[in-house]
Chain A
Amino acid sequence: DTGVSQDPRHKITKRGQNVTFRCDPISEHNRLYWYRQTLGQGPEFLTYFQNEAQLEKSRLLSDRFSAERPKGSFSTLEIQRTEQGDSAMYLCASSFRDLGNNEQFFGPGTRLTVL
Protein backbone atom coordinates (compact mmCIF):
# COMPACT_ATOMS: atom_id res chain seq x y z
CA ASP A 1 0.00 0.00 0.00
CA THR A 2 1.59 3.27 -1.10
CA GLY A 3 -1.00 5.61 0.38
CA VAL A 4 -0.85 7.79 3.49
CA SER A 5 -1.16 5.76 6.67
CA GLN A 6 -2.06 6.87 10.17
CA ASP A 7 -1.75 5.13 13.48
CA PRO A 8 -3.71 4.50 15.58
CA ARG A 9 -7.05 4.62 13.78
CA HIS A 10 -8.90 5.13 17.03
CA LYS A 11 -7.80 6.44 20.41
CA ILE A 12 -9.87 6.76 23.57
CA THR A 13 -8.27 8.61 26.43
CA LYS A 14 -9.19 10.29 29.66
CA ARG A 15 -9.10 14.03 30.07
CA GLY A 16 -5.68 15.23 31.11
CA GLN A 17 -3.74 12.40 29.46
CA ASN A 18 -1.23 12.91 26.65
CA VAL A 19 -1.70 11.26 23.27
CA THR A 20 0.52 10.93 20.22
CA PHE A 21 -0.50 10.15 16.66
CA ARG A 22 1.70 9.08 13.80
CA CYS A 23 1.43 9.77 10.08
CA ASP A 24 3.43 8.10 7.33
CA PRO A 25 3.12 10.03 4.08
CA ILE A 26 3.57 8.75 0.55
CA SER A 27 7.28 8.13 0.32
CA GLU A 28 8.30 10.69 -2.30
CA HIS A 29 6.12 13.46 -0.90
CA ASN A 30 8.00 16.27 0.79
CA ARG A 31 5.01 18.14 2.17
CA LEU A 32 2.94 16.86 5.06
CA TYR A 33 -0.21 18.44 6.52
CA TRP A 34 -2.30 17.93 9.64
CA TYR A 35 -6.00 18.78 9.72
CA ARG A 36 -8.66 18.39 12.39
CA GLN A 37 -12.26 17.47 11.60
CA THR A 38 -14.98 17.73 14.23
CA LEU A 39 -18.34 16.07 13.84
CA GLY A 40 -20.43 17.59 11.08
CA GLN A 41 -17.69 19.97 9.96
CA GLY A 42 -15.13 20.13 7.22
CA PRO A 43 -11.46 19.58 8.00
CA GLU A 44 -9.55 22.55 9.43
CA PHE A 45 -5.88 23.15 8.78
CA LEU A 46 -3.58 22.75 11.77
CA THR A 47 0.00 22.76 10.49
CA TYR A 48 2.25 21.71 7.66
CA PHE A 49 5.82 20.64 7.01
CA GLN A 50 8.07 20.89 4.04
CA ASN A 51 10.63 18.17 4.59
CA GLU A 52 11.51 18.48 8.29
CA ALA A 53 10.68 22.18 8.62
CA GLN A 54 7.38 23.20 10.16
CA LEU A 55 6.45 26.18 8.02
CA GLU A 56 3.00 27.19 9.18
CA LYS A 57 0.81 26.69 12.22
CA SER A 58 -2.83 27.56 12.61
CA ARG A 59 -4.12 29.55 15.57
CA LEU A 60 -6.13 26.39 16.29
CA LEU A 61 -2.89 24.77 17.37
CA SER A 62 -2.68 25.69 21.03
CA ASP A 63 0.41 25.30 23.17
CA ARG A 64 -0.79 21.84 24.14
CA PHE A 65 -0.30 20.65 20.56
CA SER A 66 3.08 19.90 19.07
CA ALA A 67 3.99 18.34 15.76
CA GLU A 68 7.29 17.04 14.50
CA ARG A 69 8.72 15.56 11.36
CA PRO A 70 12.26 14.79 12.47
CA LYS A 71 13.75 13.25 9.35
CA GLY A 72 11.39 14.63 6.78
CA SER A 73 9.53 11.35 6.53
CA PHE A 74 6.89 10.38 9.12
CA SER A 75 5.31 12.93 11.43
CA THR A 76 3.90 12.84 14.94
CA LEU A 77 1.21 15.02 16.47
CA GLU A 78 1.15 15.13 20.26
CA ILE A 79 -1.61 16.57 22.39
CA GLN A 80 -0.76 17.19 26.02
CA ARG A 81 -3.30 17.40 28.82
CA THR A 82 -6.17 16.44 26.54
CA GLU A 83 -9.53 18.17 26.91
CA GLN A 84 -12.96 16.99 25.81
CA GLY A 85 -12.90 19.65 23.10
CA ASP A 86 -9.97 17.86 21.50
CA SER A 87 -12.27 15.00 20.49
CA ALA A 88 -12.14 14.94 16.71
CA MET A 89 -10.78 13.15 13.68
CA TYR A 90 -7.17 14.08 13.01
CA LEU A 91 -6.30 13.82 9.33
CA CYS A 92 -2.89 13.74 7.77
CA ALA A 93 -2.21 14.54 4.13
CA SER A 94 0.87 14.67 1.95
CA SER A 95 1.79 16.22 -1.35
CA PHE A 96 4.77 16.67 -3.63
CA ARG A 97 5.85 20.20 -4.21
CA ASP A 98 5.72 20.54 -7.94
CA LEU A 99 4.42 23.46 -9.92
CA GLY A 100 0.96 22.65 -11.20
CA ASN A 101 0.40 19.66 -8.98
CA ASN A 102 -0.50 20.34 -5.40
CA GLU A 103 -2.98 17.57 -4.84
CA GLN A 104 -3.04 16.47 -1.24
CA PHE A 105 -3.53 12.79 -0.51
CA PHE A 106 -5.28 12.07 2.74
CA GLY A 107 -4.86 9.25 5.20
CA PRO A 108 -7.80 7.48 6.90
CA GLY A 109 -7.48 9.62 10.02
CA THR A 110 -7.16 9.01 13.74
CA ARG A 111 -10.38 9.40 15.66
CA LEU A 112 -9.73 10.74 19.15
CA THR A 113 -12.31 10.49 21.92
CA VAL A 114 -11.55 12.26 25.17
CA LEU A 115 -13.68 11.08 28.08
Chain B
Amino acid sequence: AQSVTQPDIHITVSEGASLELRCNYSYGATPYLFWYVQSPGQGLQLLLKYFSGDTLVQGIKGFEAEFKRSQSSFNLRKPSVHWSDAAEYFCAVGFIKAAGNKLTFGGGTRVLVKP
Protein backbone atom coordinates (compact mmCIF):
# COMPACT_ATOMS: atom_id res chain seq x y z
CA ALA B 1 0.00 0.00 0.00
CA GLN B 2 1.18 3.49 -0.70
CA SER B 3 2.18 5.77 2.17
CA VAL B 4 3.52 9.27 2.60
CA THR B 5 5.74 10.50 5.41
CA GLN B 6 6.36 14.09 6.35
CA PRO B 7 9.00 13.81 9.06
CA ASP B 8 8.66 17.36 10.38
CA ILE B 9 5.46 18.12 12.25
CA HIS B 10 6.36 21.76 12.89
CA ILE B 11 8.91 24.08 11.32
CA THR B 12 9.61 27.64 12.44
CA VAL B 13 11.37 29.91 10.01
CA SER B 14 12.21 33.60 9.99
CA GLU B 15 10.63 35.81 7.37
CA GLY B 16 12.98 36.08 4.42
CA ALA B 17 14.76 32.83 5.20
CA SER B 18 14.61 29.75 3.01
CA LEU B 19 12.24 26.89 3.67
CA GLU B 20 12.44 23.20 2.86
CA LEU B 21 9.72 20.70 3.71
CA ARG B 22 10.47 17.01 3.44
CA CYS B 23 8.27 14.35 1.93
CA ASN B 24 9.03 10.67 1.44
CA TYR B 25 6.69 8.18 -0.15
CA SER B 26 6.41 4.45 -0.42
CA TYR B 27 4.90 3.17 -3.61
CA GLY B 28 5.61 0.41 -6.05
CA ALA B 29 5.57 2.47 -9.22
CA THR B 30 6.20 6.02 -10.26
CA PRO B 31 3.61 8.04 -8.40
CA TYR B 32 1.95 11.29 -9.16
CA LEU B 33 3.04 13.73 -6.47
CA PHE B 34 1.39 16.83 -5.11
CA TRP B 35 1.93 19.52 -2.55
CA TYR B 36 -1.10 21.24 -1.06
CA VAL B 37 -1.31 24.14 1.38
CA GLN B 38 -4.08 24.62 3.93
CA SER B 39 -4.59 27.89 5.77
CA PRO B 40 -6.69 27.93 8.96
CA GLY B 41 -10.33 27.31 8.20
CA GLN B 42 -9.64 26.89 4.50
CA GLY B 43 -9.67 24.03 2.06
CA LEU B 44 -6.62 22.63 0.36
CA GLN B 45 -4.94 24.61 -2.38
CA LEU B 46 -2.64 22.94 -4.85
CA LEU B 47 0.87 24.40 -4.88
CA LEU B 48 2.41 22.14 -7.50
CA LYS B 49 2.34 18.67 -8.97
CA TYR B 50 4.65 16.18 -10.62
CA PHE B 51 3.44 13.73 -13.22
CA SER B 52 6.46 13.12 -15.42
CA GLY B 53 9.30 14.89 -17.20
CA ASP B 54 11.51 17.47 -15.54
CA THR B 55 12.02 16.45 -11.94
CA LEU B 56 12.20 20.05 -10.73
CA VAL B 57 8.73 21.53 -10.81
CA GLN B 58 7.68 25.09 -10.23
CA GLY B 59 4.49 26.00 -8.49
CA ILE B 60 2.52 28.96 -7.32
CA LYS B 61 3.60 31.47 -4.68
CA GLY B 62 7.29 30.95 -5.48
CA PHE B 63 7.41 27.31 -4.40
CA GLU B 64 9.30 24.54 -6.15
CA ALA B 65 9.77 20.83 -5.52
CA GLU B 66 12.21 18.22 -6.72
CA PHE B 67 11.35 14.60 -7.37
CA LYS B 68 14.20 12.23 -6.53
CA ARG B 69 13.31 8.70 -7.49
CA SER B 70 16.39 7.19 -5.83
CA GLN B 71 15.41 8.70 -2.50
CA SER B 72 11.64 8.34 -2.91
CA SER B 73 11.39 11.99 -2.02
CA PHE B 74 9.54 15.07 -3.20
CA ASN B 75 10.77 17.96 -1.05
CA LEU B 76 9.20 21.38 -1.24
CA ARG B 77 11.33 24.53 -1.18
CA LYS B 78 10.97 28.28 -1.16
CA PRO B 79 13.99 30.59 -1.28
CA SER B 80 12.49 33.41 0.79
CA VAL B 81 9.50 32.93 3.07
CA HIS B 82 6.81 35.57 3.53
CA TRP B 83 4.64 35.90 6.62
CA SER B 84 1.66 34.80 4.52
CA ASP B 85 3.29 31.40 4.00
CA ALA B 86 2.40 30.42 7.56
CA ALA B 87 0.08 27.47 7.04
CA GLU B 88 -0.03 23.68 7.01
CA TYR B 89 1.51 21.89 4.07
CA PHE B 90 0.56 18.45 2.87
CA CYS B 91 2.37 16.15 0.50
CA ALA B 92 0.19 13.68 -1.37
CA VAL B 93 0.65 10.70 -3.64
CA GLY B 94 -1.74 9.54 -6.31
CA PHE B 95 -1.73 6.92 -8.97
CA ILE B 96 -3.67 6.56 -12.13
CA LYS B 97 -5.57 3.44 -12.87
CA ALA B 98 -8.78 2.77 -14.65
CA ALA B 99 -10.82 3.05 -11.50
CA GLY B 100 -9.57 6.43 -10.36
CA ASN B 101 -6.85 8.27 -8.54
CA LYS B 102 -7.46 8.72 -4.85
CA LEU B 103 -4.81 10.68 -3.00
CA THR B 104 -2.83 9.47 -0.01
CA PHE B 105 -1.69 12.35 2.18
CA GLY B 106 1.13 12.75 4.63
CA GLY B 107 0.46 13.97 8.14
CA GLY B 108 1.33 17.54 7.27
CA THR B 109 3.95 20.07 8.34
CA ARG B 110 2.86 23.21 10.12
CA VAL B 111 4.99 26.21 9.19
CA LEU B 112 5.31 29.15 11.56
CA VAL B 113 6.93 32.34 10.29
CA LYS B 114 8.76 34.62 12.71
CA PRO B 115 8.96 38.34 11.95
Contact = CB atoms under 8 A, between A and B. Distances in A.
Q: Is chain B found bound to chain A in the same assembly?
A: yes
Interface string A23-65: 0000000010101000011111100101000011000000000
Interface stretch (A11-19, A71-79, A80-88, A103-111): A103-111
Contacts of B99: 55-56
A33 B99 CA distance: 13
A48 B98 CA distance: 13
A91 B36 CA distance: 14
Contacts of B102: 33, 45, 48, 56
Interface in B2-43: 4, 6, 32, 34, 36, 41-43
Interface residues of A, number: 26
A102 interface: yes
B90 to A, nearest CB: 5
Given A91-B43, A107-B43, A42 B100 contact: no
Contact of B100 (A50, A105, A106): A50
A105 B36 CA distance: 10
Interface of B: 4, 6, 32, 34, 36, 41-46, 49, 51, 90, 92, 94, 96, 99-108
Nearest first, the 7 closest Cβ-Cβ pairs linking A and B are A42-B105, A106-B44, A106-B43, A45-B102, A108-B43, A102-B101, A43-B105
